[in-house]
Amino acid sequence: MDKAKRIANKQKQISISEFFEKNKHFLGFDTHQRAVITAVKEAVDNSLDACEEGRILPEIHVEIKRLEGGRLELVTQDNGPGIPRDSIANVFGKFLLGSRFHAIRQTRGQQGIGITGVVMYAQLTTGSTTTVLSKIETESTAVRVDLALDTKNNRALKSNEERIPLEEWFEESGMESHHGLRIRTVMAAKYQRGRQSVHQYLRMTSIVNPHATIRLRVIGKNGEIIDEGEWVRTTNKLPRPVVEIRPHPHGMQFGTLQRMLKNTKERNVKSFLTKEFEKVSPLVSKKILGHAEIDEKRRPSGLSVEGIQDLLSAFMAVKIQAPPTDCLSPIEELLIKKGLEKAIDSRYAATVTRAPTVSQGNPFQVEVGLVFGGDLPSDGSVEVLRFANRVPLMYQQGGCLLTKAIESINWRPYGLEQTGGKGVPKGPAAILVHLASTNVQFTSEAKEAVADNEEVHAELRRALFAVGRGLQSHRKRVGQRQKSRDKFDLINKILPEIASKSSSMLGRPKPDLSPIITKIMNAVFCEEETIWNAKEKLAICSIKIYNYTARARAYTIIAKWPEGEKISIIHESMKGQRETIGLRKWRLDAINPGKMAEITFSVGGLGQGDWKEAEVFFRGSGEIIGCEKLDEVLVKDMKRQESLKEMVEDFEEELENHHTPNENVGHVNQISDQVEDFGGDFSKWVRQGDE
Amino acid sequence: MDKAKRIANKQKQISISEFFEKNKHFLGFDTHQRAVITAVKEAVDNSLDACEEGRILPEIHVEIKRLEGGRLELVTQDNGPGIPRDSIANVFGKFLLGSRFHAIRQTRGQQGIGITGVVMYAQLTTGSTTTVLSKIETESTAVRVDLALDTKNNRALKSNEERIPLEEWFEESGMESHHGLRIRTVMAAKYQRGRQSVHQYLRMTSIVNPHATIRLRVIGKNGEIIDEGEWVRTTNKLPRPVVEIRPHPHGMQFGTLQRMLKNTKERNVKSFLTKEFEKVSPLVSKKILGHAEIDEKRRPSGLSVEGIQDLLSAFMAVKIQAPPTDCLSPIEELLIKKGLEKAIDSRYAATVTRAPTVSQGNPFQVEVGLVFGGDLPSDGSVEVLRFANRVPLMYQQGGCLLTKAIESINWRPYGLEQTGGKGVPKGPAAILVHLASTNVQFTSEAKEAVADNEEVHAELRRALFAVGRGLQSHRKRVGQRQKSRDKFDLINKILPEIASKSSSMLGRPKPDLSPIITKIMNAVFCEEETIWNAKEKLAICSIKIYNYTARARAYTIIAKWPEGEKISIIHESMKGQRETIGLRKWRLDAINPGKMAEITFSVGGLGQGDWKEAEVFFRGSGEIIGCEKLDEVLVKDMKRQESLKEMVEDFEEELENHHTPNENVGHVNQISDQVEDFGGDFSKWVRQGDE
């Protein structure tokens, strides 16, 4: 027999279940320690997604029991919308069945793989079925069913299906909710504490999902409690609903466009472009088709391969607005700082949220936080905390684009050690990176590392440069202050002491030292100190301006403070004025030579460590050591950005009250476009501070 | 409508093709640079696998042309067995169709994904079909067909299928072979040179596949040649055919065992165990069932969940021989050194091939090579070269188990810099790691990084420790020699000079210094030097023994040299004897006090840089500085291992001549078991040298 035929005869179709059974490591089931983290992650991600979709404040309980023979029992319970009886088998027993695969919006799950992988792993390693108990609101009873996987045919095998009365549901779920989902499974796995653990995963999850209450209990073989955690929600406000959008023309794939052209119901290419894409107005559509030299009246399905190629080129050549941002849900500044928990003891914290942009038709947005100093260990690598779509990434740090972006930057000018100017830097710092995207491209189904992508990499670098520059500028300020403090010590303590000693020795009155000091210093100094008043739960900021020049000085002093929804100024030593969001100004009329003026103000609504240093600026002539001149152009931009943000927020509130997204999509987009036009990220500001 | 039902209604089954189209980065198509490497890799891996299976010496041509619009045309041609007409559409157009998915033996491809991914990527990014031209030996014409993918249904769409006369096949293929495969495709991609490039991929592939001839040509838009490469085969011997084996009981998964029990045709568990598993003799089977307390006569499908659990426990409790090794194909020492090409200019090279072992029922084997010194750059990280089943891994270094194993070792005691005693070490070294396995568990379909696995990690660490210890011992030897050389310089040059000057000043005859030197030194020294004679292509080793003690000394000197198929000793200054493979000994009868004895021998069949330092040992009383006493236990083991290897080799030759694997499997296994029983890895030896 021919060799080729002999080989060909062995060809066999494999089912997707068989494929994942053999490649369970693709799904995150490579080691026993990781298996339980993956299982919890899949269940909790699903619960959070379902609650968000159902607009329910999530309550999630995770219970793990150690069993004999290296096995664990895992029970997860939520108060989500539940799953209708007829869908349970598909959701848990069929790979590649999902509701979000084709949708363009930010969700945790997308592929329809995760939880089926858990059922599969349990069956493969222990032969156990997975029990699902589901209660949906519109039914008076819950349903319970045991599920196994028919691997050859990629479908679930149900057994023991039964209806459960409401009281039993309440009792078993341990909740008072009329809807929810409970999953029980047994798998070969190992519970461990540490940096890569269920505990850490849930903690990180709760930080970036402050609207969720999460409980963990781990029980040993003898019923003893091995580990526990409770993270109660800190806000009752659900994340803004993410809106599903149409594709954006930028970075569209040939094949995707070809398929859209073939399947569209639109009768000509012009309306095809305006109806099926974001940000393509009739005018833009006209421009695109003009550039591609395609007749507006052409039937979409009639375009040739060359025509499609021309259309793609035109997409990139014609100016098209950035995609709408309401399909994304960033973590935002305060949560990033909370995520970098150690920030509480560290000396410097900065965050940058970049404006959304687009890669391969998918909107995405990056956020970066950096904390430095304090109690952070200075002898090892910087701690890297990675998040994608609000999900913490615990594994595959080395192979992840988020890490690679950090490694690609030369951190040495910013004050972190780094061998050869690349790699993860060393020093007392922690860096948080979040990628929010309608399509996070992971390196594998386990969703632990982000795959290479040039646009995302570039955005990450921009954000990291910005926090780096902020750090550098902070270190410079700290250095300057130290120097001026040394000078003060010399002049304010030693000179007067010499003067008093020598005058008493000579029996003469003590001379006025101000003119001498002024002569020596010939400069204006600024000293800033922010302290935490634990009793009153206030952050108190003091700004002192020393005029050691020969003439009187007048300034407007501006301080940057973390203004926010519940964060406001409680007292101030002199009446100030709001300049724009996060900027307050005070008028100092005349500080005479040799004199000092002080401004103090206290801020309420913060937690300890949330704010530890005010950036101080001034308006006026000359220079102030330890204080930069305010950049008026940036203030103007900030004011503009604020007014736009208010518009968006007002609208969002409206949206939340009358949840009819489709009609209003146009409006939100319009506003957020204006924000986008501005550029709208704080990184410019941070960068400016440094130059 | 109920929220739960609303969500459930959106559920939709996705086809595997749609899944991979959206997740093309899983397959290695994340960036344009990587896309072309991935495409070449998939085609070349398939060619090598097919040639190996068809027992054909591979000839592979890769041609890449730059086209307009960021596209490349890729053509690959081989002389493999070809693909029968009826199978072409399935091989290229259907995901998860493959011949090797369930087979337990070492192959490059396994999943039936790779080449279909290439067809998909080409279509998605350029709308192009992929043209396949196939010629199989038993047909008089070739067949040509254009293939597109029907993504929704995971199948190929054929067009323009036609028969091609033989002459046209010869002309188009550019080969004289009567069988082979030609693939032509156009994709959005970017050709670049460098560490991660097609050129580098093919070069590395040719090194570990010396039986293949590979050619590369890259042509620019104007027909100019941008890049070229030709790697001609250096051996006509095909790799040993890897034999398909049955599963091994160790690390068997519950679910897998359950399925085997259900599907077996054996009528009782005892024969089930002996027939369906490797290394389960009737005696072992009896022991296993005794331990599990299962009646030998039980029907396999009748076992309960607990019974299966007991059986699994018994698998681990009862002593079972390691799996057969003929399902694996290691790279082996000389190729590893060639892989570490820079070895040619480096001062030290060591390799360790561990004996095969088993993880989750899959036999695997690790090999490690390390080169150090010479021209290697000393300021950066050590270069890491990763291979899995003879395929070079170019991406995802950070997320790969092979890298993690290197990072987990504290290299500082072995003389490499390393911050904090972990991470990739720094210094003038390169490390090659090869994992050969019947089931390499990659982190994703792109097969670029190996997933976490405790057993593989442990084996890798053992091999790395061994080369590390070898390096440490080399550095110690170098240090000692330097010291003794300094002492020689002092005594052999300065003392005689003083003596000759003072005797000439005093007009007296020069005294005999030997007794004085002997008195000062009171030790025996060994100096070894291996040089390369480029003219005669010989490595010449000189061993000098200096006796600076008060009495005559006699030793047997033993040198380790790279004995091999074509590597032999050409001359020697005195008649030596073969001790065992790679060890030669010479008898030095009496070296008088103050005298030196020299042994030189030359070795032919090596390339420059293949061998640069002989390890020298001695038998005799006392100590020799710069030379270790031979460990007799290890020599005995080496002799035993050699005779077993010869048996295996003889048998393999037989096997090669009469290719009827099934009858003979038992025999090979038996022999290789004995090798396994011994432990059979050289690491003990290396380790010993250091203690």
User: Which candidate in A107, A402, A444 is best for mutational testing of the B interface (most B CBs within 10 A)?
Assistant: A444
- The values of phi and psi at residue B437, to 5°, are -155, 150
Residue A35: predicted pLDDT: 95
Residue B280: predicted pLDDT: 93
> Looking at A419-423, B364-368, B436-440, which range is the least confident one?
A419-423
Helix axes B632-657, B661-678, angle to 10 degrees: 170
Which uninterrupted H or E stretch holds A554? strand A553-560
Q: Which of B378, B420, B385 is nearest to B403 (CA)?
A: B385
Residue B643: predicted pLDDT: 67
Half-sphere exposure of A176 (CA within 13 A, CB side): 0
Q: B492 at the A interface (CB within 8 A)?
A: no
Report d(CA B688, CA B691) in Å as an integer: 5
Residue B9: predicted pLDDT: 75
> Looking at A99-103, A125-129, B363-367, B613-617, which range is the least confident one?
A99-103
Q: What structural domains and CATH numbers belong to chain A?
A: 16-231 (3.30.565.10), 254-317 (1.10.8.50), 333-473 (3.30.230.10), 512-630 (2.60.40.1170), 639-678 (no CATH)
Residue B344: predicted pLDDT: 53
Q: Which amino acid is at A448?
A: E
In the stretch 146-185 of chain A, residues with CB closer than 8 A to chain B read 151, 179
Using 50, 70 and 90 to split pLDDT, how confident is the model at B681?
very low
Residue B456: predicted pLDDT: 94
Q: Where are the beta strands (DSSP E) in B284-359?
A: 348-353, 357-359
**Beta-sheet pairing, A383-388 with A429-437:** parallel
Which residue of chain B comes nearest to A34, CA vs CA? B452
Q: Where are the beta strands (DSSP E) in A103-179?
A: 130-135, 142-150, 155-164
Q: Do A138 and B5 touch (CB under 8 A)?
A: yes
Report d(CA B419, CA B379) in Å as an integer: 13
Q: Which of B374, B351, B341, B359 is nearest to B464 (CA)?
A: B351
Which residue of chain A comes nearest to B91, CA vs CA? A11
Q: A255 at the B interface (CB within 8 A)?
A: yes
Q: Read off the pLDDT of residues A148-171 as tens digits, 9 standing for 90 and up.
A: 999 888 889 999 999 999 999 999
Does position B644 have pLDDT exceeding 70, yes or no?
Answer: no
> Looking at A672-681, B152-161, B546-555, B606-615, which range is the least confident one?
A672-681
Residue A661: predicted pLDDT: 35
Report d(CA B24, CA B227) in Å as an integer: 27
> Looking at A176-190, B497-511, B607-621, which range is the least confident one?
B497-511
- Quick one: CA dihedral B637, B638, B644, B648, positive or negative? positive
Q: Do A34 and B90 touch (CB under 8 A)?
A: no
Does position A37 have pLDDT exceeding 90, yes or no?
Answer: yes
Of A96, A127, A381, the CB nearest to B13: A96
- The values of phi and psi at residue A331, to 5°, are -80, -40
Residue A1: predicted pLDDT: 61
| Residue A244: CB atoms within 10 Å | 18
Q: Do B137 and A4 touch (CB under 8 A)?
A: yes
Q: Do A124 and B54 touch (CB under 8 A)?
A: no
Report d(CA B191, CA B220) in Å as an integer: 10
Report d(CA B128, CA B119) in Å as an integer: 9
Residue A245: predicted pLDDT: 87
Q: A82 at the B interface (CB within 8 A)?
A: yes
Of A3, A8, A86, the CB nearest to B137: A3
Q: A8 at the B interface (CB within 8 A)?
A: yes
- Quick one: CA dihedral A326, A329, A331, A334, positive or negative? positive
Question: What average pLDDT does this structure show over B301-318?
Answer: 91
Q: Which of A77, A76, A69 is nearest to A32 (CA)?
A: A69
Which uninterrupted H or E stretch holds A297? none
Question: Chain-centre distance of CA A326, in angstroms?
Answer: 15
Q: Do B253 and A125 touch (CB under 8 A)?
A: yes
- The values of phi and psi at residue A114, to 5°, are -45, -65
Report d(CA B83, CA A365) in Å as an integer: 47
Using 50, 70 and 90 to split pLDDT, how confident is the model at B314?
very high
Q: Chain B closest CA to A4's CA: distance in Å?
A: 5
Does position B22 have pLDDT exceeding 50, yes or no?
Answer: yes
Q: Which of B378, B420, B381, B419 is nearest to B403 (CA)?
A: B381
Q: Which residue has the tokens 């060799």?
A: A3
Q: Which residue has the tokens 């005999």?
A: B512
In this structure, are residues A188 and A125 in contact, taking their beta carbons and an 8 Å threshold? yes
Q: Read off the pLDDT of residues A662-691 as tens digits, 9 standing for 90 and up.
A: 333 333 233 333 333 333 333 333 333 333
Q: Which of B446, B419, B4, B571 is nearest to B196 (CA)?
A: B446
Q: Read off the pLDDT of residues A15-25 as tens digits, 9 standing for 90 and up.
A: 888 888 888 88
> Looking at A341-345, A444-448, B115-119, B280-284, which range is the least confident one?
A341-345
- Quick one: CA dihedral A668, A669, A672, A674, positive or negative? negative
Of A7, A69, A84, the CB nearest to B5: A84
Q: Read off the pLDDT of residues B347-404 as tens digits, 9 standing for 90 and up.
A: 777 888 888 888 877 889 999 999 888 777 877 889 899 999 999 999 888 889 999 9
Q: Read off the pLDDT of residues B231-267 as tens digits, 9 standing for 90 and up.
A: 998 888 888 888 888 889 987 888 889 989 988 999 9
Residue B691: predicted pLDDT: 32
Q: Do A439 and B22 touch (CB under 8 A)?
A: yes
- The pair of structure tokens assigned to A536 is 């009153």
- The pair of structure tokens assigned to B571 is 């001359």
pTM of the model: 0.76
In this structure, are residues B14 and A90 in contact, taking their beta carbons and an 8 Å threshold? no
Report d(CA B458, CA B469) in Å as an integer: 16
Helix (H, G, I), strand (E, B) or coil at B452: coil
Which residue of chain A comes nearest to B97, CA vs CA? A13
User: What are the CA-CA distances from residue B436 to residues A326, B154, B404, B444, B450 (Å)?
Assistant: 49, 31, 17, 17, 11
Which uninterrupted H or E stretch holds B501? helix B495-506
Report d(CA B223, CA B215) in Å as an integer: 18
Q: Chain A closest CA to B378's CA: distance in Å?
A: 12
- pLDDT, chain B, mean: 84
State percent of chain B over pLDDT 90.
Answer: 42
Does position B64 have pLDDT exceeding 50, yes or no?
Answer: yes
Helix axes B32-53, B114-126, angle to 10 degrees: 150
Q: Which residue has the tokens 């035109």?
A: A314
- The pair of structure tokens assigned to A142 is 């819950």
Q: A57 at the B interface (CB within 8 A)?
A: no
- The values of phi and psi at residue B37, to 5°, are -65, -45
Does position B19 have pLDDT exceeding 90, yes or no?
Answer: no
Residue A680: predicted pLDDT: 35
Q: Chain A closest CA to B225's CA: distance in Å?
A: 27
| Residue B5: CB atoms within 10 Å | 18
In this structure, are residues B79 and B56 in contact, taking their beta carbons and an 8 Å threshold? yes
In this structure, are residues A197 and A64 in contact, taking their beta carbons and an 8 Å threshold? no
Does position B30 have pLDDT exceeding 60, yes or no?
Answer: yes
| Residue A33: CB atoms within 10 Å | 18
In the stretch 379-438 of chain B, residues with CB closer than 8 A to chain A read 379-381, 396-400, 403-404, 419-420, 426
Q: A258 at the B interface (CB within 8 A)?
A: yes
In this structure, are residues B322 and B301 in contact, taking their beta carbons and an 8 Å threshold? no
Q: Read off the pLDDT of residues B582-637 as tens digits, 9 standing for 90 and up.
A: 889 999 988 988 888 999 999 998 888 778 888 888 998 888 877 878 877 667 76
Q: Chain B closest CA to A201's CA: distance in Å?
A: 19
N-term to C-term CA, chain A: 76
Residues of chain B with C-beta less than 8 angstroms from the C-beta of A101: 12, 14, 18-19, 22
Q: Which of A100, A38, A42, A50 is nearest to A78 (CA)?
A: A50
Interior/surface letters B224-250, b for 16+ CB within 10 angstroms, e for the rest: eeebebebebeeeebbbbbbbbbbbbb
Does position B658 have pLDDT exceeding 60, yes or no?
Answer: no
Residue B284: predicted pLDDT: 93
In this structure, are residues A206 and A231 in contact, taking their beta carbons and an 8 Å threshold? yes
Which residue of chain B comes nearest to A154, CA vs CA? B13
- Quick one: CA dihedral A392, A396, A399, A405, positive or negative? positive
| Residue A518: CB atoms within 10 Å | 19
- pLDDT, chain A, mean: 84
**Top-confidence residue, B211 or A664:** B211
Q: B40 at the A interface (CB within 8 A)?
A: no
Report d(CA A404, CA B272) in Å as an integer: 50
ipTM of the complex: 0.74
Q: Which amino acid is at B620?
A: G
Residue B525: predicted pLDDT: 83
Which uninterrupted H or E stretch holds A117? helix A114-126
Report d(CA A192, CA A201) in Å as an integer: 12
> Looking at A33-42, A65-74, A290-299, B659-668, which range is the least confident one?
B659-668
Q: Chain B closest CA to A686's CA: distance in Å?
A: 31
Residues 6 or more apart in contact with residue B143 via CB below 8 angstroms: B85, B88, B133, B134, B135, B161, B162, B163, B164
- The pair of structure tokens assigned to B640 is 């035993």
User: Which candidate in B1, B11, B48, B134 is best for mutational testing of the A interface (most A CBs within 10 A)?
Assistant: B11
Residues of chain B with C-beta less than 8 angstroms from the C-beta of A10: 99-100
Using 50, 70 and 90 to split pLDDT, how confident is the model at A646?
low
> Looking at A123-137, A560-574, B524-538, B673-687, which range is the least confident one?
B673-687
